[in-house]
Amino acid sequence: MESQVDLKSTSDDPVMGIGQAGQRFGVAAHVLRHWESMGLLSPERTRDGHRRYRRADLIRIAVILRAKDAGLSLDAIHQMITCDDPDVRQRTLQHQRDVLAQRIARQQAALALLDCALTCSHPDVATCPHFQQVIAQRAGLT
């Protein structure tokens, strides 16, 4: 049975090993080791060298995963969570935000294109005058 982790807990006691932490977030143990080698994670070790992930480590894993979902590279994530200079961190995050906003705008335009094609009753959507007009507008040809 998979153990549940209360990320709201205030306990600093070791919570779980690397296998359990990876399983909790759906990432392989080697990924957590890689993130550790990059300085993104620093779990405590037992006397026999086993990693112990505490609440703060689990939250850090969640932050890394959310940042990756937003399209940030591991290097950008590293700078975001380890940078001591708030101005540098702010500039980095603003740049990442701008890149994400551009990607979202492109995806919204792609979704609108598909929605337009879905409503087209013309036998060949590519030759449909309305669809061609929408494409021309999006391409700045009108």
Domains of the chain: 1-71 (1.10.1660.10)
Grouping H, G, I as helix, E, B as strand and the rest as coil, residue 46 is coil
Strand partners, 16: 53
CB 57 within 8 A of CB 33: no
Phi/psi for 110 (5° steps) reads: -65, -40
**Number of Cβ atoms within 10 Å of the Cβ of 57:** 21
- pLDDT tens for residues 56-114? 999 999 999 999 999 899 999 999 999 999 999 999 899 999 999 999 999 998 998 89
Residue with tokens 């590293």: 78
| pLDDT on residue 2 | 41
Has residue 54 got a pLDDT over 80? Answer: yes
